[in-house]
Amino acid sequence: MIDVIVAGGGPTGVMLAGELRLHGVHVVVLEKEVEPTKIVRSLGLHVRSIEVLDQRGLLNRFLALGRQYPLGGVFAGIDKPAPDRLDTAHPYVLGIPQTVTDRLLAERATELGVEIRRGWELVGLHQDQHGVTAELADGTRLRARYLVGCDGGRSTVRKLLGVGFPGEPTRREWLLGEVEVTVPPETVAAVVAEARKTHKGFGVGPIGDGVYRAVAPAAGVATDRTAPPTLEDLKQQLREVAGTDFGAHAPRWLSRFGDATRLAERYRVGRVLLAGDAAHVHPPLGGQGLNLGIQDAFNLGWKLAAEVGGWAPAGLLDSYHTERHPVAAEVLDTTRAQAELLSLEPGPQAVRRLLAELMDFQEVNRYLIEKLTGIGVRYDLGEGHDLLGRRLRDVGLQRGRLYELLHRGRGLLLDQTARLSVAGWADRVDHVIDVSAELDVPAALLRPDGHVAWVGDDQTELRSQLPKWFGAPAN
Ligand SMILES: Cc1cc2nc3c(=O)[nH]c(=O)nc-3n(C[C@H](O)[C@H](O)[C@H](O)COP(=O)(O)OP(=O)(O)OC[C@H]3O[C@@H](n4cnc5c(N)ncnc54)[C@H](O)[C@@H]3O)c2cc1C
């Protein structure tokens, strides 16, 4: 029997599969599309995802193919520089097309031994006490101990589970595509600048090799939202907004997206879990969806691996919902707020001006950026030190960097006292005695996802915390 079936080979699914495989879990990804998509949705990664890649030794591959941009101006496009001294070693946006992100994550998963089966569509599932049976479009059945639905916003897994997906339906739609144009670049830039004064959600910009990415509000919401628009549809909407279609031709691909904002009621039903867009959808304001999916996978991977490995303490797998559901709820709210701030009505415009003034206060600006980039997330692990539940930034140690110590996806006790011990858990938790001028705590216990589970210097206290995350001690 397979340990875990991941339904959906998008960024969330392959990230999760890689994380599971890091712990030796036998995982199979089922992806319905035979070929990777050419459609480029996300254009970048935010700080927390960049850190996550660094924590697994993957960042250099992404840096080699991406471009670093300043962090200012990301919240509702309000033009303010990033706050000083952001609490991260990576204070930038990494511009990288989603097709490249998908490919790099899939490559990593494959290198680790994940089997990605393309052209395999899940159409049914049944679970019992011992496992889950997945039914595929060609009638094949596969059995696994767990199944995770990473199958996107229209998730078949979520529907089969009957999990509610409350929120707002698509009320507005945009057309998106990559095309060539006949007008010169200066004309494109000038027309776009003028049109954007009165129209938001519109843009035409060069992406290299004479190709432009174009986005324009659609005339309405399509009846069949799965069908791509035609070139003529896109040209018509460009004319509507900008007065010209720029001579758009030779489309590389065309797509549409909407502003539906929904959150799954539950992330877990027995042996089946949901992650990424299958669990939450929202408009792409601030560029957060893919980031959220990668971070869901990072939270779930080690917990599900612990369950499969037989060492998970009671409640560990359920903490995936408890921790990640509120994070998604906040992201949904952040996109709702940004959508309002982009309205050209006088009221929202006044609120936008006010917020822009408030962002001159460093702490307000910092708060918004930390929220949007995912580094402000604090899981509720109860009362305690301010770092408890937060991810720790990368810090320099006498012998290297903290994030280098997390590549294997294990727990970590960073011990500046040299008096502590993880005896009994050494098969799951690394004990590193080192010091950092940047870390003002005697010792910190980090979970495999880099979040702080305990801070202190008392061995008895540490021993009481270890089983909460890493299960019973080995004999
Ligand atoms: C225009 C636009 C711009 C965006 N920009 C950004 C951005 O800048 N930053 C950001 O973070 N996010 C952005 N997003 C959001 C981002 O694209 C998504 O959040 C992300 O793709 C979600 O990843 P996922 O793996 O959860 O789902 P998906 O990428 O949707 O992948 C799901 C996969 O499951 C497969 N599948 C579906 N059903 C089945 C089935 N029954 N059996 C097997 N396989 C199945 C699909 O073929 C697909 O490959 C943007 C979205 C849009 C539309």
- Sort strands 132-136 and 122-127 into parallel, antiparallel or unpaired: antiparallel
For the record, the structure tokens of 451 come out as: 């979040």
Q: Whose CA is closest to 43, among 191, 203, 210?
A: 203
Q: With H, G, I as helix, E, B as strand and everything else as coil, classify residue 70.
A: coil
- Of the candidates 150, 149, 148, 113, the one whose C-alpha atom is nearest the C-alpha of residue 21 is 113
pLDDT score, position 199: 79
Query: Tens-of-pLDDT digits for all 475 residues of the chain?
Result: 999 999 999 999 999 999 999 999 999 999 999 999 999 999 999 999 999 999 999 999 999 999 999 998 899 999 999 998 899 999 999 999 999 999 999 999 999 999 999 999 999 999 999 999 999 999 999 999 999 999 999 999 999 999 999 999 999 999 999 999 999 999 999 999 999 888 778 999 999 899 999 999 999 999 998 899 999 999 999 999 999 999 999 999 999 999 999 999 999 999 999 999 999 999 999 999 999 999 999 999 999 999 999 999 999 999 999 999 999 999 999 999 999 999 989 999 999 999 999 999 999 999 999 999 999 999 999 999 999 999 999 999 999 999 999 999 999 999 999 999 999 999 999 999 999 999 999 999 999 999 999 999 999 999 999 999 999 999 7
pLDDT at 198 (0 to 100): 84
Q: How far is the CA of 25 from the centre of ligand 1 (A)?
A: 24
- Extract the tokens encoding 40: 């480029």
pLDDT, position 475: 75
pTM, two decimals, is 0.97
> Cα 290–291–296 angle (5° rounding)?
95
- Close Cβ partners of 64 (under 8 Å, ≥ 6 residues apart): none
Quick one: which atom of ligand 1 is closest to the CA of 291? Answer: 11
Q: Which helix (H) or strand (E) holds 176?
A: strand 173-180
Residue 20: the pLDDT is 98
List beta partners, residue 180.
211, 249
**Best probe residue, ligand 1, of 48, 277, 295, 338 (max atoms within 8 Å of C-beta):** 277
**Cα 10 to ligand 1 centre (Å):** 6
* 90: Cβ contacts below 8 Å, ≥ 6 apart: 47, 50, 51, 54, 394
In angstroms, what is the span from residue 270 Cα to ligand 1's centroid? 24
For residue 43, which atom of ligand 1 is closest to its CA?
A: 8
Q: Decide: 112 and 21 in contact? Cβ < 8 Å.
A: yes
Ligand 1 nearest atom to the CA of residue 150, by list position: 26
Identify which of 14, 31, 38, 42 to mutate to test ligand 1's pocket (most ligand atoms within 8 A of the CB). Answer: 42
Question: How many helices (H) and strands (E) in the chain?
Answer: 12, 24
Q: Closest Cα partner for 445 from 427, 475, 470?
A: 470
Kind plus residue range of the DSSP H or E element containing 294? helix 289-309
Determine which residue's CA is closest to atom 51 belonging to ligand 1.
41
Report DSSP state, residue 378.
B
- Give residue ranges with CB within 6 A of ligand 1: 7-13, 30-33, 41-44, 98, 121-122, 150-152, 156, 176, 257, 276-277, 284, 287-291, 293
Q: What is the CA radius of gyration of the chain?
A: 23
> Residue 24 has which token pair?
């030796």
